[in-house]
Chains A and B, each alone.
Chain A
Amino acid sequence: MTPELIGLLGIAALLVLLAIGVPIGVGLAGVGLLGLAVLISPEAAVIKGGVIAFETVMKYELGVLPLFLLMAHLCFAAGASRDFFDVAARFVGHRRGGLALASIAGCAGFGAISGSSLATVATVGSAALPEMRRANYQPGFAAGALAAGGTLGSLIPPSGALIVFGIIAEQSIGKLFAAAIIPGLSQALFYMVAIGIMCYFRPALGPKSARVGWRDRLIGLGRIIDILLLVVFVIGGLMIGWFTPTEAASVGVVAALGLCVLRGAFNRRAIGDAVASTLRTAGMIYVVIIGAILFASFISVTGIADVMSQWVRDMHASPVLAIVFMALLLLLLGSFLDGLALMLLTTPIFLPIAVELGYSPIWFGIFLTRAMEIGFVHPPLGLNVYVIQGIAKDIPLGAIFRGIVPFLVADFFHLALIIAVPALTLWLPSVTGG
C-alpha cells in the first residue's frame, strides 16, 4: 500500500469515527497515532503523541485562548452581551427589521470581546431572540440573523481562529488581528444590507417596534460606555503596541474583572461560573488541537498534501481561480468538519499553495477564517444553528436553515469581495505596522 493510499484510508476512517459520535479530538488523534504507527513505527507514533501532547499544553501563544475566553465569560457575567443588544435596539428598533440589525450590531460588539463564534451567538442570542419573538419577528428570520451574526465573533478580533492560524502558519497574531478589522466590519455591514433588503420586500419578517426617545438612547449608551472603553483599551492597546496579543488577553481579563466590580457582578458565584465555563471550553479546544496536530503530522507523512498541491499547480489556473476552488473545497469540508479541525487540517496543505500563487499569508488567514465561518452556519453541520436551536427548541431546524439562506448569499458576496480586493485585508496591518 502506498503512503498516499494509507492517507486516504485514514481520512475515510476519521469520517467514519466522527459520524458514529467519537469526540472530534479523539478521532483525529486516534487516526493520527494509528497512521503514524503504520507508516513509521508504533514506537515513533507513541513518542510523537507524547511530544505533541506536552508541546501543545506548554505553548505560550496558545495560552491566550483560555485567557480571552475568561475575559469574554467575565464580560458576559457583567451583562455585556445583553447591554450591547439593548442599546442597539434602542437606536434602530423602530425601523423595519430593526431588532435584527441590533442583533448584528450586538454580535459585532460582543465579538470584540469574545474570540469565538459559538460564544457570540449563544450569549447575544439568549438576549436577542426572546426580544425579537416578542416583537413578532418571523422565527426563522430572527434565528438566521443571529446564527449568521454570531460568526462575526470569530473574525472580529480577538479571534480564536486567527490565534490558531497564527500559530500553525507562524504569522504575527497582532498583524492578523489588524487585518481582520475591516473584513469583520464590512461583513456586519453586508448582513445589515441583507436585512434591509429582505425587510423592504417582506415587511412581515421584522415588524417595527416602538420608537425610543433620544434621552433613553443616550442613557442606554451611558450604560455600555464601560464595556466600550474596555474594548477600545484592549484592541487599541494591542494595535498601538502597549502590549503584545498574548499580553492583551491578560490585560483584558484584569479589565473585565474591573468591569465586574463596577457592575456589581464581582462575587464568588459569577467568577466561579466564568472560570468553570472557560475551563470546560478550553479543555475541549486543547483536546481538538492535540488531535489535529497529530492528524496533520500523519497526513504530511503520507504525502497527500504534496499530491494535492501538485494538482493545483498542474491545473495552471489563474491564482484567483485556484483560490475560488480552495474556497469551494473549504465550504464542502466545512459542511461536516468542525471549524477548528478544518483550519488545522487545511492550513499546512493550502497555505504553501496560496503563498506560491502570490497571496500573503496574512490575507490567507483572513480568507480561511472567513470561509471556515460560513461552515458554522451552512447545513448539515452549522454549529451556530444548533446553538440557536438550544436557546429556542420550538423553532424547527429547517426553518432556521431557511432563514439563513439570504445571509449565506451575503456571505458569498463578502467572500468574493475579500478575494477580489486583498487591500481590504492588508491595508490596516500595513498602516499600524502589525
Chain B
Amino acid sequence: MHNDLDAGEEAPSTPEGESVAARVAFLIGGTGLFLAMATDAIAVLGRHTGFALLGSIEVVQACIVLIASSAMVFATLKGAHAAVHILTERLDLAMVARLARLSAVLSALMFLILAGGCLWLVADLWSGAERTELLHIPIVPLRLLQIVALLFIAALFLRTLFRRGTR
C-alpha cells in the first residue's frame, strides 16, 4: 500500500488560484476527518457508558465523501498521483513533455467521464429523495460535491496542459 512521501516532484509553481483551491480542499477534508473521528469516538464512548449514538455510521459516511472528494483534489494539486516512472526517466526531455501532455489529456478525459456518470445519476435521482436510512441525511448534496471535485480535477489536468503548451 502506498503513501505519503512524494515519489514524484512537487507541483512546479503554486499560483494564487491553486493555493486558494488547496486551502478549500484542506478545510473540507480536515473537517471531514475530525468530524468522522469525533463521531466514531463518541459512538464508542457511548457504547461503553450506556448511551446510543444511532446512525453514527451514516454521519461517518457523509464525512468520508468530504474527505475523499477533497483528498482527490488535494492530491491532484500536489501532483501526488501514483505513476510508474521506470520508462519515462530514461527518455529525452522533449519526449517526456509530449508524454506528459498526453497523460494530462487522458487524465482530464477520464475525470470528465466519471463526472458525467455521476451527473447522469444525480439527474435520474433528483426527484427520488435519496437519503440515508436512519438520519435521513440527503445524499444529493454529497453527490454534487463529488461532481464539483471531479470537474475541478479535470480542469487542473487541462490547465497543466496549457501551461506546458505555452512554455
The reply to whether A and B meet directly (CB within 8 Å) is yes
Q: Residues of A at under 8 Å CB distance from B?
A: 17-26, 29-30, 33, 45-51, 53-54, 56-60, 62-63, 66-67, 69-70, 73, 114-119, 122, 154, 159-161, 164, 242-243, 246-247, 249-251, 253-254, 272, 275-288, 290, 336, 338-340, 380-381, 383, 386-387, 390
Q: Which of B76, B86, B106, B146 contacts A54 (CB 8 A)?
A: B146
Q: Are B117 and A48 in contact (CB under 8 A)?
A: yes
> A-facing mask of B136-164, CB < 8 A → 1, else 0?
00000011001000100000000000000
Q: Are B33 and A58 in contact (CB under 8 A)?
A: no
Residue of A nearest to B121 (CB): A50
Residues from chain A with a CB closer than 8 A to the CB of B82 are 23-25, 284, 288, 338
Minimum CB–CB distance from B66 to chain A (whole Å) comes to 9
Is B21 in contact with chain A by the CB < 8 A criterion?
A: no
Residues from chain A with a CB closer than 8 A to the CB of B25 are 279
Interface size class of B (residues with CB under 8 A): 35 or more
Given contacts A70-B33, A275-B26, whether A247 and B44 have CB atoms under 8 Å apart is yes
Q: Are B1 and A339 in contact (CB under 8 A)?
A: yes
Given contacts A26-B106, A250-B36, whether A287 and B87 have CB atoms under 8 Å apart is no
Q: Are B41 and A254 in contact (CB under 8 A)?
A: yes
Residue of A nearest to B88 (CB): A21
Residues from chain A with a CB closer than 8 A to the CB of B86 are 19, 336, 380-381
Q: Are B26 and A287 in contact (CB under 8 A)?
A: no
Given contacts A17-B106, A21-B100, A50-B117, whether A279 and B2 have CB atoms under 8 Å apart is no
Which residues of chain B from 113 to 134 have a CB within 8 Å of any chain A CB? Answer: 113-114, 116-121
Q: Are A275 and B33 in contact (CB under 8 A)?
A: yes
Q: Residues of B at under 8 Å CB distance from A?
A: 1-5, 7, 25-26, 29-30, 33, 36-41, 43-44, 48, 57, 60-61, 63-65, 67-76, 78, 80-88, 96, 99-100, 102-103, 106-107, 109-111, 113-114, 116-121, 142-143, 146, 150
Residue of A nearest to B5 (CB): A122
Residue of A nearest to B95 (CB): A20
Q: Are B4 and A73 in contact (CB under 8 A)?
A: yes
Q: Which of A154, A279, A381, A387 contacts B1 (CB 8 A)?
A: A154
Given contacts A115-B1, A280-B71, A339-B1, whether A24 and B65 have CB atoms under 8 Å apart is no
Q: How far is the CA of A381 from the CA of B72 in the complex (A)?
A: 24
7 examples of A-B residue contacts, CB within 8 angstroms: A22-B103, A63-B67, A250-B39, A279-B30, A280-B71, A285-B2, A286-B72
Q: How far is the CA of A133 from the CA of B4 in the complex (A)?
A: 24
| Most A-side CB within 10 Å, residue of B3, B38, B107 | B3
Q: Are B1 and A117 in contact (CB under 8 A)?
A: yes
Q: Are A54 and B74 in contact (CB under 8 A)?
A: no
Residues from chain A with a CB closer than 8 A to the CB of B100 are 21
Q: Are A118 and B107 in contact (CB under 8 A)?
A: no
Minimum CB–CB distance from B24 to chain A (whole Å) comes to 12
| Majority SS at the chain B contact face | helix
Q: Are B7 and A383 in contact (CB under 8 A)?
A: yes
Minimum CB–CB distance from B11 to chain A (whole Å) comes to 11
Known A-B contacts: A251-B44, A279-B74. Give 13 more (CB < 8 A): A57-B146, A58-B64, A66-B33, A114-B3, A115-B1, A164-B1, A242-B44, A278-B33, A279-B70, A282-B67, A282-B75, A285-B1, A286-B72
Q: Are A242 and B48 in contact (CB under 8 A)?
A: yes
Residues from chain B with a CB closer than 8 A to the CB of A29 are 110, 114
Q: How far is the CA of A161 from the CA of B3 in the complex (A)?
A: 12
Q: Enumerate the 6 nearest inter-chain pairs by beta-carbon distance, A residue then B residue, closest first.
A: A50-B117, A283-B75, A250-B40, A283-B71, A160-B1, A57-B68
Q: How far is the CA of A25 from the CA of B70 in the complex (A)?
A: 16
Minimum CB–CB distance from B97 to chain A (whole Å) comes to 11
Minimum CB–CB distance from A356 to chain B (whole Å) comes to 27
Q: Are A287 and B72 in contact (CB under 8 A)?
A: yes
Q: Are A49 and B117 in contact (CB under 8 A)?
A: yes
Q: Which of A45, A247, A338 contacts B43 (CB 8 A)?
A: A247
Q: Are B68 and A22 in contact (CB under 8 A)?
A: no
Q: Which of A46, A116, A117, A381 contacts B116 (CB 8 A)?
A: A46
Q: Are A284 and B2 in contact (CB under 8 A)?
A: yes
Residues from chain A with a CB closer than 8 A to the CB of B84 are 18-19, 21, 24, 336, 338, 381
Minimum CB–CB distance from B152 to chain A (whole Å) comes to 12
Q: How far is the CA of A296 from the CA of B68 in the complex (A)?
A: 21
Minimum CB–CB distance from B121 to chain A (whole Å) comes to 5
Q: Are B7 and A386 in contact (CB under 8 A)?
A: yes
Q: Are A23 and B83 in contact (CB under 8 A)?
A: yes
Minimum CB–CB distance from A28 to chain B (whole Å) comes to 9
Residues from chain A with a CB closer than 8 A to the CB of B117 are 46-51, 53
